[in-house]
Amino acid sequence: MLLDTGAARKPARISLTPLIDVVFILLLFFMLSSSFTQWRQLDLPIPTAATSQAKEVSVVRLLDNEGSISIEGEHLVLTQQARLAAVVAAHPGVFGIDVAEGVNTQSLVRLVDALKLAGAENVSLGGVLP
């Protein structure tokens, strides 16, 4: 007894079309999910021992995320730009920033921007605080 299996089958051909589709979908996904924004650098020089001794250092303490600051014992808010400009003019030299615990980075950047707008030329994040 012989079993008739019919004609010999040709092996199934694998189509490359689905593979190409998947590659294009992945390419589209990565193109849409990536960000091409340009990052900007915030220049905050850290003074050496010689420069920190040569200039008067005013300590600016950022107290909270709402913009409350203390400059040389005087409390004010970052929204009081005219008063901040007067305090900056009264204390020429380096402004060393000290940040309270729990304050986010955006608040720190707002403080640096406010000091620069008020006329502070030398703002530092470290190396000058007692």
**pLDDT tens digit sequence for 66-81:** 888 888 788 898 888 8
- Kindly state the tokens that stand for 10: 């040709």
Share of the chain above pLDDT 70, in %: 81
- Kindly state the tokens that stand for 117: 């707008």
Q: Mean pLDDT of all residues in the chain?
A: 80
| pLDDT for residue 2 | 66
Three-state DSSP class for 53? helix
**What is the pTM (predicted TM-score) of this model?**
0.56
pLDDT at residue 19 tops 80: yes
Work out the number of other CB atoms within 10 angstroms of the CB of residue 115. 23
The domains found in the chain, sorted by start residue, are 49-124 (3.30.420.270)
Residue 1 CA, distance from chain mean position = 82
